[in-house]
Structure 1
Amino acid sequence: MRRLGFGLVTMSRGGPGRDAEGNPEASLEDRQRAIELNAAWDRTRRGEAPAPVRATLTTYPEGSVGDGYQRAMALRKAERLKKGIIWTSEQESRDDWPRAWKWLGPAFGDCDPRTIIPEHFLRIDPRTAKAAGLVPDIERAVSTTERHRAVKVWRALWKRMAAMRYCDPGADPSLSFSNTAPNPRDAIWHRREVLIGVQRAWRMGYFGLAACMATAWDSMLSPVDVRRITPAQVRSDVGGVWFALPRAKTGKAAAATLSPWSEAVLRAYLAKLGEGVELAPNSPIFRNRSGAPYSKDTLGDDFRSVRAALDPADMRQLADMRRSGAVEGDAGGGSIADQSNKMANTVGANNRLRKTYNPTNIASVRRFDEARAIGAKLLQEKSGRPSKRLSLPDLLRRQREK
């Protein structure tokens, strides 16, 4: 059912009646909703209706914003399928449209788009003289980033609804105010700080986290990509060990290279892991202390514990290591093309044919690794910190001596 677009649907608390076991009885509305959902599943499995496309199983009036959203979601999926693109569950979970719809749906789902005005998004509350409407509500509840995402999706949805003749293309009410993007994160880590962080994680018993941090630093992968690395993705050449994997966000092929230091950390971790866990070829390598693969939440929780042990006021994230590697490479003279290959993104305008016939370009990735090493020394000298590199065996030796 999940593969066909169905998902869990939350009902009300039920009641006021009670069943034989004393639990609240389903309300009449919930019973009717359950019948509708069951009927939708019957129509889909019999091939009488198209499967929902990660939209919502709620039935909206024809011509409403919700109706337009469901059609737009179906068209977006059709466009991907036409190109032979099938999203993974990870890519679907990163889709901004369903996330924005959690705000847009309750506010506008059953409305005629032509009845929506700018003041629904932003106005002055006459009682408090403060900003009110959907935009400030999102910012107060979550963040400016969430507001920017929701309005951005709304504007894209309006264009699609206009193409469906639900509304006037030039009458988007959200165009009456700006949707300024939030300032991007600019926090960075220095190489020496990461070495110390890996050491502290190891000492605290977070062996999987220590190896994950070391791999994330050298590979410049995002946290979601690094925690999904499997033994089947390991490769090696004259330059050392690396992992070949597709990025979760874009699906682009990435070459996650390691340095002798991060490889030593990884080997030490695997030796520890071998005492009680046997890794299957396609199972995630990095595990938390319970032996379970790291999830988004457990990885973040463990990382924050180690970070707090080093500096309770530090708010930097594991994801900031990806940016930090780009800063190192830039300081060392790495080219934009090599950075693009290293990060498996389109930060550089690379030749399309070269990407087609040499998607990972390991030589380019290695060049950027060399530029990072040069940049790290320059940044350490600039900050007045020693440039000595400590290997994991040396750190562990110091631990035993203490």
Structure 2
Amino acid sequence: MAKIKLKHYVIRKGKYGYWLPTPKMMEAGFECIPCGVDGPDAWAIAKEWEDRWQAFRKGREPPRLDAWPKDSIGDAFARYRRMEAWKSRPPRTREDWERGWAFIEPYFADLPPADITLELLDDWYARLLRAKGVDTAYRAMKTWRALYNVMAGMKLCAPKADPSLAIRRKTPNARNQIWTAGEVVRLVKGAWRAGFKGLACIIAVAWDTSFSPVDVRTLTPAQAMQTAQEWGFLIARTKSGESAFGTLSRRTQRLVLAYVEQLGFTLLDDAPIFRSRGFAPGPKGGRPRAGVPYTKDSLVDDFADVRRLVFGENEKRRLMDMRRSGAVEANAGGASVEAIAAKMGNSIDESKALQKTYMPVNLAAVRAADLSRRAGRKALGKELNEYRPMKLASGEAKGK
């Protein structure tokens, strides 16, 4: 079978295929679809989604990819994804639902919601725990419980009678890993030298701003702002909707400007700035093409490659841990809870609510958090340097 050419089909890591919609397509409700190992099966999945997009673009009813029995769980979820309530959900939330659905579908998609008993759910959850671990099982159960409420709203099952509520979920351990400033510098340099220039910028911006990975990878030129003292990015956080101003160090400013200059094309105001590594020149030479905007999965994959390159196979910390690192530094430097909240774009207490009422972003608090981070960084570094290997005396010296 000859390989098909699809506009939105891309290959990651040299072998995994993805159907990757543009930001405009994502606004219409289309998601990044993992198609599996590059080959006829992956091409068929991508072709189905390409046909679905073309039908939508031309104003026709898109073809149904899942023909579930009427009023089954699969049918209910398909109906929900066509509703405005689904389309209005943040992309990150829809991604979480899709990941959870991947574990619900093989077991329950063709069954009526009212047929799902506590015994079936208990067996399903126990299997997930054994096969996928606590984190995946927790998220899958979370999706089921949210979907049950939707199906109850569709009058397909009794409201407030979800059998899964009798199952006590195991909660994943909270992450506590942090990065140090020196380690981040090594990551940025390693990414840039390996050709992951967009990722190098993402790492540097994430460290300086304490933004989450999704907020950094979706930054656009329109969000770049400058004040009398600094420049950075003004955003409404993807998850909370809170306003946040992320300030950049001079080093990161130079890095971002150098990256934009070497792209070779002008970015639109609403286009994501940072892109994947792209492709090498073809046989006829020419300038390498810039990659496509990062998705959640491609960012995770590329960061893992760079992390492995810089720190080896045993390092497991993630990009998301940089957000926690900034809070740890600011706290060690004596920053107030309100200042950290303004820096991170979180609603922590009533003081933050008042800040939001009277100013979209409290620049004074953001600057205070930045100063506290620098002070905390020095304090943490000094604390680490106080630890020295201790040599125990042996033989007679021990007994003296």
- Regarding TM over 0.5, the answer is yes
Residue 282 of structure 1: aligned partner: 270
Gap regions ≥5 residues in structure 1:
11-22, 25-33, 123-132, 387-402
Contact in 2 for aligned 1:198/1:213 (Cα 8 Å) = yes
Q: Which residue of 2 aligns with 1:199?
A: 189
CA displacement, residues 311-330 of structure 1 (integer Å, 9 cap, x when unaligned): 21211112211111111111
* 1:99 alignment partner in structure 2: 99
2: CA distance, partners of 1:352 / 1:111: 45
Q: Which has the higher contact order (CA 8 A, sep 6+)?
A: 1
Q: Contact (CA 8 Å) 1:103, 1:150: kept in 2 or not?
A: yes
**Alignment CA distance shift 1:321-1:385 (3 Å):** farther
Query: For the residues of structure 2 that align with 1:287 and 1:160, how far apart are their CA atoms?
Result: 36
Of 140-149 and 179-188, the range deviating more from structure 2: 140-149
What residue number does 2:249 align with? 259
- Of 61, 70, 75, which residue of structure 2 is paired with 1:61? 70
* Alpha-carbon distance, 1:7 to partner: 8.5
Distance 1:308 1:5 in 2: 34
Residue matched to 1:113 = 113
Structure 1 SS opposite 2:218:
coil
Secondary structure of 2:185's aligned partner = helix
Q: For the residues of structure 2 that align with 1:356 and 1:3, how far apart are their CA atoms?
A: 29
What is the aligned partner in structure 2 of residue 212 from structure 1? 202
Contact 1:285–1:293 under 8 Å retained in 2: no
Change beyond 3 A, Cα 1:357–1:58: farther
Check 1:221–1:307 CA distance in 2 against 1; reply closer, same or farther (3 A cut): same
User: Equivalent residue for 1:18?
Assistant: none
SS at match of 1:373: helix
The question of 1:145 aligning with 2:135 is answered: yes
Matched residue, 1:304: 304
Which residue of the partner structure matches residue 20 of structure 2? none
Counterpart CA distance in 2 for 1:305 and 1:364 is: 36
TM superposition score normalised by structure 2: 0.69
Matched, 1:229 2:229: no
Closer, same or farther: CA 304–240 of 1 in aligned 2, 3 Å: same
Q: Distance in 1 between matches of 2:94 and 2:75?
A: 22
Q: Which residue of 1 aligns with 2:329?
A: 328
Q: Distance in 1 between matches of 2:161 and 2:93?
A: 30
Q: Report the alpha carbon displacement of residue 237 of structure 1 after superposing the two structures with TM.
A: 1.2
Contact 2:242–2:347 (8 Å) recurs in 1 = no
Q: Which amino acid aligns with 2:120?
A: H
Cα RMSD over matched residues? 4.0
Tell me how far apart the structure 2 counterparts of residues 68 and 204 of structure 1 sit (CA, whole Å): 46
Gaps of 5+ in 2: 1-24, 35-39, 42-47, 279-289, 388-400
Shift of 1:382: 0.8
The DSSP-based 3-state class of the residue aligned with 1:134 is: helix
C-alpha separation in 2, matches of 1:308 and 1:72: 40
Residue-by-residue CA offset, 1:162-209 (whole Å, 9 max, x unaligned): 455544456432123211221122211011211232233344444333
Query: Could you say which structure has the larger radius of gyration?
Result: 1
Number of the residue aligned with 1:176: 166
- For the Cα contact (< 8 Å) 1:328–1:376, is it kept in 2? yes
The residue type equivalent to 1:137 in the other structure is: R
Q: Distance in 2 between matches of 1:151 and 1:307?
A: 31
Alignment of 1:359-370 (within 5 A): 359-370=360-371
Aligned pairs, number: 335
1:190 maps to 180
- 1:35-84, Cα deviation, whole Å (9 max, x unpaired): xx99xx89x968xxxx89xx97645434x444554566677x44x89xxx
Deviation of 1:118 (Å): 2.0
Q: Distance in 2 between matches of 1:211 and 1:224?
A: 14
